[in-house]
Amino acid sequence: MAKRDRLSGNEAVAIALRQINPDVFPAFPITPSTEIPQYFASFVANGQVDTEFITVESEHSSMSAAIGASAAGARSLTATSSCGLAYMWEELYIAASNRLPLALALVNRALSGPININCDHSDSMGARDAGWIQIYAENNQEAYDNMVQAFRISEHKDVRLPIMICQDGFITSHAVENIELLEDADVKNFVGEYEPENYLLNPDNPMAVGPYSITDYYMEAKRNQAEGMRHASGVVLEVAKEFAAISGREYGLFEEYCMEDAETAVVMIGSAAGTTKDAIDKLRAQGEKVGLIKIRLYRPFPAEEIADALKNVKAVAIMDRAEGYTNHGGPLGADVMSALFRARSTALAVNYIYGLGGRDVRVEDMEQVFETLKQIVKDGDAGETYRYMGIRE
C-alpha cells in the first residue's frame, strides 16, 4: 500500500535509494545535491542499509569510485550538481564506454560562470553526448519514481549503460510536496538483487581493462555503446509498464498534455512544465487549443515519437533551460527541430532560451509564448526562431 508523505525532492530520492539499498555510494557534497548523500548517510548510521558509503575528496573521485565498484560487480551510484558534474567529465565517458550500469542522481544547477547556484540545465545538457541515459522529472513524485526505475533500466542486459536521474535544483530538490511512497518490500521486489552475468573485474573471467584502444578497435567500441542506446527507449517503456502495475502511476518517453486537438504547443523539460500546464488550463478555459509535450527521456532522444505527437500542430515553441551558443538556439531546440525536419513537418517552430540561473518562469510568461505562437500561425511565418524569454533588454 502506498504511503503519503511530505518530502523535498532530495529527500524523496534519498528514500528511494534507501529502499533500493545499493552496494556502494561514494559521495562528495555540492549544492543543491548535498542533501541526497546527507540523508543517505543517516540511513547508513542508523543501520537501515548495508551500503558501503564512501566519503571522498572530490567529485572526480566519487565517480571514479562508483566506476570501480560497478566494474567489480557492485550496484553503485553517486550524486552531484553543476561544477561537480563538470569535474566528473572524464569519468562520465569512462563509465559509458565500459558499459557500466551505475546511476547518478543529478540536481540541475547552472554551471559557472558567473557563479550561480540556482537551476538551469546547462550541467546535464553539457553531458548529453557522453553516452549516458538521461531522465528528467517535473516534480518530487517523478524524481522518486524515476530513481526507483533507474537501475532496472540501466542494468537491463540489452542496455548496460549508466543512467542520470535529473531534477531541478531548489525548485524540486528543496521544495516540499505531498508524494506517495511505495512500501519498502515493493521497491525491493521491483528492483531486485543485482546479479550481473559478467562484469569487468570478474576474477573468473580475467581481461585487460583500460588499455589503449587503437584505431582498429575504437569505432567498434563506440558502435557497441550506440547499440545499448538503441534498446534503451524500449526498456524504459517496459520498466515503466511494470512500475505502473505496482504504483498506479504511468510514465512514457514523454508526457502529452492537452495534445489531442492542440493547434499550438510547447516542448520543454523539467519543473516549468507544471507552470505551463497552469497556463494551458487557463487558455483552454478561454477556448484556445494549446498543448504541451514534456520530455522525460532526453537521451536517447525519442525523435520519431515526438514528431508524431506534433504532427497536427501548426506552431511549436521549444523551451531550452540551457544556451547552446550556436547562434540559433539550445540543445533541445536542435533535437526537436531535427525531428520535425526528418518527419517533413509543416509546423512553424521557434526556440526560446528561458530560466537561466534560476530566472522565474511565471504562468503569464507561458501565456505570452502561446500568444506569440497564435500570431505566428496567423502570419504564416515563424519570424526570429531564436529568442530569449523573460530577459531585461
> Count of H helices and E strands in the chain?
13, 15
Which residue segments constitute the domains of the chain, with CATH numbers given?
3-247 (3.40.50.970), 254-388 (3.40.50.920)
Residues 45-71 pLDDT 10s? 999 999 999 999 999 999 999 999 999
pLDDT at 212: 86
Task: Measure the CA–CA gap between 369 and 270, rounded to whole angstroms.
Answer: 17
My answer on whether omega of the bond before 206 falls inside 30° of 0, hence cis, is no
Helices (H), the chain: 9-20, 35-45, 59-71, 82-87, 89-97, 122-126, 140-154, 184-191, 215-247, 272-285, 303-309, 331-342, 363-379
Pair 100, 72: CB distance under 8 Å:
no
User: How many residues make up the chain in this entry?
Assistant: 393
Task: Quote the percentage of the chain above a pLDDT of 70.
Answer: 99
Predicted TM-score (pTM) above 0.95? yes
**pLDDT confidence bin for 198, thresholds 50/70/90:** confident
Nearest to 317, CA basis, from 252, 266, 354, 255:
266
Taking residues 370-375, report their average pLDDT.
Answer: 98
DSSP-assigned states of every residue in 36-55? HHHHHHHHHHTTS---EEEE
Taking residues 233-244, report their average pLDDT.
Answer: 98
Taking residues 108-123, report their average pLDDT.
Answer: 96
Signed CA dihedral, 306, 268, 80, 189: sign only: negative
Taking residues 169-197, report their average pLDDT.
Answer: 97
| Position 393 pLDDT exceeds 80 | no
Residues 80-100 pLDDT 10s? 999 999 999 999 999 999 999
Helix (H, G, I), strand (E, B), or coil: what is residue 103? strand
Taking residues 172-192, report their average pLDDT.
Answer: 98
Taking residues 273-284, report their average pLDDT.
Answer: 98
The b-or-e profile of 209-238 (16+ CB within 10 A means b, else e) is: eeeeeeeeeeeeeeeebeebbebbbebbee
Q: Which amino acid is at 64?
A: S
Name the helix (H) or strand (E) containing 24: strand 24-27
Helix (H, G, I), strand (E, B), or coil: what is residue 271? coil
Pair 278, 328: CB distance under 8 Å:
no
Phi, psi of 17 (to 5 degrees): -70, -35
Pair 38, 31: CB distance under 8 Å:
no
Specify the higher pLDDT residue, 213 or 268: 268
Task: Measure the CA–CA gap between 206 and 203, rounded to whole angstroms.
Answer: 6
What grid cell was written down for 101? 550500469
**pLDDT confidence bin for 109, thresholds 50/70/90:** very high
- Mean pLDDT of the residues in the chain: 97
| Position 1 pLDDT exceeds 80 | no
